[in-house]
């Protein structure tokens, strides 16, 4: 595909990134590990309700602080960007995605009502410390650096991967020095940006030209930079990349680079973590968790059990 994007292709991926839900599948278990579901490949919007049947988990709710049980409400900040994590429906107001369904299901299990505000990905973690929000979602990967200031309750396993145009000579990125001399497009304030910046020196150490990192706040802009040749490779979430390449021509998913646990984010030292951990594990036990992942076609990202701030996966 030529590097200059056709208008229709541009519209398609922009809508896919910002307006559509993602990755529905008739039977994700029948697909190869990590593959997108059939509905995602067709750009369909999963509409099945997998949350309203959740019943209160009395044992998990008992772990909540007394003042939270009394108020019955928590404020959650949700980063809305790329499917299948969280995105806007065509009405431009309703949010949907894996992050949304799991948060809503956990809240129902705890007998809570979530007051949801959408916020920029890079703004959520600092706002938790200030007390502006009780918790946040945004496909937040659990890293040792983040664990110093944030508590996590895990509910997914996703991670870092790469995508390129079909004309790229890259076959698989197993070492970041393979990116030397290239331009990498990624999202601002993410583990992708941090990983790239922390390792940029390795190109110079190897006597090679450093790679250039271009960051964007708009998911559609990342893909535009790739399609138009301003970026040679995109680094993003494994699930998000697999979805996105199914929605546009001339690009391909390259490979997984690193897996990371993903979790609800809380202020360090939060008393809410044990209750949310119990809620997630309860959703796994009653089948709700599997139904949510099946709806979004990401069964390969299931975790065995929810953990509180586990060490970063190396």
pLDDT digits 0-9 by tens, 94-153: 999 999 999 999 999 999 999 999 999 889 999 999 999 999 999 999 999 999 999 999
pLDDT (tens digit per residue) in 111-128: 999 999 999 988 999 999
302, 163 Cβ separation under 8 angstroms? no
DSSP 8-state assignment for residue 268? T
Q: Average pLDDT in the 282-290 region?
A: 98
pLDDT in tens, 30-64: 223 333 333 333 456 687 899 999 999 999 999 99
Name the percent of the chain in helix, strand, coil, to the closest 5.
Answer: 35, 20, 40
**pLDDT tens digits along 152-185:** 999 999 999 999 999 999 999 999 999 999 999 9
Cβ atoms 254, 164 nearer than 8 A: yes
Q: Is the pTM of this model over 0.75?
A: yes
Q: Measured between alpha carbons, how far is 229 from 240 in angstroms, rounded to an integer?
A: 20
Degrees (nearest 5) of the Cα angle 4, 7, 9? 85
Query: Six-digit token pair at 70?
Result: 């009394």
Concatenating the DSSP letter of every residue in 50-91 gives -STTPPP-HHHHTTS-HHHHHH-EEEEEE---STTTSEE-TT
For residue range 63-77, what is the model confidence (pLDDT) as tens digits? 999 999 999 999 999
Q: Is residue 218 scored above 90 in pLDDT?
A: no
Q: What is the pLDDT of residue 43?
A: 58
């Amino acid at each position: 595909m030529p590097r200059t994007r056709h208008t229709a292709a541009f519209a398609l991926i922009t809508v896919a990134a910002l307006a559509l839900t993602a990755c529905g599948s008739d039977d994700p278990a029948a697909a190869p590990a990590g593959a997108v579901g059939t509905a995602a490949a067709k750009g369909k919007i999963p509409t099945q309700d997998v949350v309203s049947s959740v019943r209160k988990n009395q044992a998990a709710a008992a772990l909540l602080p007394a003042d939270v049980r009394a108020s019955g409400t928590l404020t959650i900040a949700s980063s809305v960007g790329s499917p299948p994590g969280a995105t806007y429906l065509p009405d431009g107001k309703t949010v949907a995605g894996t992050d949304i369904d799991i948060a809503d299901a956990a809240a129902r299990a705890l007998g809570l009502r979530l007051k949801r505000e959408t916020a920029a990905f890079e703004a959520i973690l600092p706002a938790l410390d200030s007390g502006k929000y009780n918790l946040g979602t945004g496909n937040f990967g659990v890293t040792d650096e983040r664990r110093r200031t944030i508590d996590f309750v895990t509910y997914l396993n996703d991670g870092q991967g790469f995508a390129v145009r079909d004309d790229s000579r890259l076959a698989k990125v197993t070492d970041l020095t393979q990116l030397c001399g290239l331009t990498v497009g990624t999202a601002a304030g993410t583990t992708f940006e941090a990983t790239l910046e922390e390792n940029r020196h390795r190109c110079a150490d190897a006597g090679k030209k450093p790679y250039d990192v271009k960051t964007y706040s708009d998911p559609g802009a990342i893909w535009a930079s790739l399609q138009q040749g301003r970026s040679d490779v995109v680094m993003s979430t494994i699930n998000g990349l697999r979805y996105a390449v199914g929605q546009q021509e001339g690009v391909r998913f390259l490979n997984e680079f690193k897996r990371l646990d993903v979790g609800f984010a809380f202020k360090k030292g939060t008393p809410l973590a044990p209750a949310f951990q119990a809620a997630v594990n309860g959703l796994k036990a009653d089948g709700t968790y599997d139904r949510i992942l099946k709806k979004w076609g990401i069964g390969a990202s299931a975790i065995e059990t929810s953990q509180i701030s586990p060490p970063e996966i190396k």
